[in-house]
């Protein structure tokens, strides 16, 4: 019996050591694959857009479609973590650029813009956006943004509202929206270890690829997304969500500004008591405010792009922005 237990103990120890070795090997493999993939992908990334240098010497990337001083301008801002805003908005931009000059701005840490490690407060991000638009000599424009861009836009309009002729939100956030803390440091550690790549390979939707883009474009979005995933700017922005939402709650949209909220049915169904109501509160008493609910997920401009382009054009035409 005594020998039996000794033998069982030796076997258990060997199994445990084997399991530990497998775990270590697994972690090492995930890290190594990600490390060399990033190096390989960096050589494959194709630059695009126009780099605009602002205060501090950092370069922000801008994609302009349908250029023309005779056209009204729409400035497009991305939702949080969108890997490549220039590619993400390409289909929508090309549907609108016959009638408008479309300016897609990639904030620092996104797309082909620099990573600055400047605190991602709403004030800093809005100052940077305004500097870019000034450099491009754009002084009269419609602000249009997806998701978190709605929060930044509220404060942007409160400061630079004399330049903004309308605001359009694509399932945009609102100041009293319930928020949960994001474990940024943990996500950044997982990213450095290569696990975010592993997760994205299992769940491709995590990279928010434009569904109707060519495979070449989707590959580019992947390369850029893996490179930028949870970088210092993107991570710091998430850390400041609570701060930035509270800041936006202290200001309001002008009561006469044309405002058009295009809301996702899935977002509305997921939060039926507050999602639509939160947007209604932002345009209460505004005769130029409008809300439309479209069937689809949060990234409505991927699934309802033609409807959005048509409805945006009709909305702006109705307010003589044409």
Q: How confident is the model at residue 208 (pLDDT cuts 50, 70, 90)?
A: confident
Judged against a pLDDT cut of 80, whether residue 90 lies above it is answered with: yes
What's the whole-number mean pLDDT along residues 1-6?
60
Provide the pLDDT for residue 40.
95
pLDDT tens for 160-184 read 999 999 999 999 999 999 887 788 8
The residue that leads in pLDDT, 206 or 289, is 289
Judged against a pLDDT cut of 90, whether residue 231 lies above it is answered with: yes
Provide the pLDDT for residue 210.
93
Provide the pLDDT for residue 3.
64
Per the listing, tokens 């200001």 go with: 251
> Residues 287, 256: contact at Cβ < 8 Å?
yes
Q: From residue 34, give the alpha-carbon distance in Å to each of 38, 39, 190, 200, 255.
A: 6, 9, 11, 12, 50
Nearest to 153 by CA among 129, 179, 131, 120: 129
Provide the pLDDT for residue 180.
78
Q: How confident is the model at residue 62 (pLDDT cuts 50, 70, 90)?
A: very high
φ, ψ at 163 (rounded to 5°): -100, -15
Judged against a pLDDT cut of 80, whether residue 16 lies above it is answered with: no
**Pairing of β 101-106 and β 141-146:** unpaired
Q: How confident is the model at residue 2 (pLDDT cuts 50, 70, 90)?
A: low
pLDDT above 70 as % of the chain: 97
Chain centroid to CA 195: how far? 21
- What value does the mean pLDDT of the chain take? 93
């Amino acid at each position: 019996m005594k020998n039996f237990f000794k033998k069982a103990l030796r076997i258990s120890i060997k199994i445990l050591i084997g399991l530990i070795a497998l775990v270590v090997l697994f972690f090492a493999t995930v890290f190594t694959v990600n490390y060399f993939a990033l190096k390989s992908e960096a050589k494959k990334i194709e630059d695009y857009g126009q780099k605009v240098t602002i205060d501090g010497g950092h370069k922000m990337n801008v994609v302009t479609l349908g250029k023309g001083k005779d056209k009204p301008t729409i400035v497009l801002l991305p939702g949080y973590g969108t890997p490549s805003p220039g590619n993400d908005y390409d289909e929508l931009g090309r549907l609108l650029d016959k009638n408008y000059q479309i300016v897609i701005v990639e904030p620092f840490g996104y797309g082909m813009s620099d990573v600055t490690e400047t605190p991602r407060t709403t004030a800093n991000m809005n100052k940077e956006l305004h500097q870019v638009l000034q450099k491009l000599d754009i002084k009269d424009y419609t602000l249009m943004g997806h998701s978190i861009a709605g929060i930044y836009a509220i404060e942007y309009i409160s400061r630079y509202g004399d330049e903004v002729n309308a605001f359009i939100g694509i399932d945009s956030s609102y100041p009293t929206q319930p928020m949960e803390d994001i474990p940024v440091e943990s996500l950044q550690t997982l990213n450095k270890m290569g696990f975010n790549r592993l997760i994205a390979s299992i769940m491709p939707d995590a990279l928010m690829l434009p569904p109707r883009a060519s495979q070449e474009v989707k590959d580019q979005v992947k390369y850029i997304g893996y490179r930028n995933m949870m970088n210092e700017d993107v991570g710091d922005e998430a850390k400041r969500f609570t701060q930035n939402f509270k800041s936006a709650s202290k200001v309001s949209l002008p009561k006469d500004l044309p405002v058009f909220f295009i809301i996702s049915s899935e977002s509305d169904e997921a939060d039926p008591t507050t999602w639509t109501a939160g947007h209604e509160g932002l345009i209460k008493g505004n005769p130029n405010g409008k809300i439309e609910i479209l069937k689809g997920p949060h990234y409505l401009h991927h699934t309802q792009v033609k409807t959005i382009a048509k409805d945006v054009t009709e909305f702006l035409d109705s307010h003589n922005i044409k």
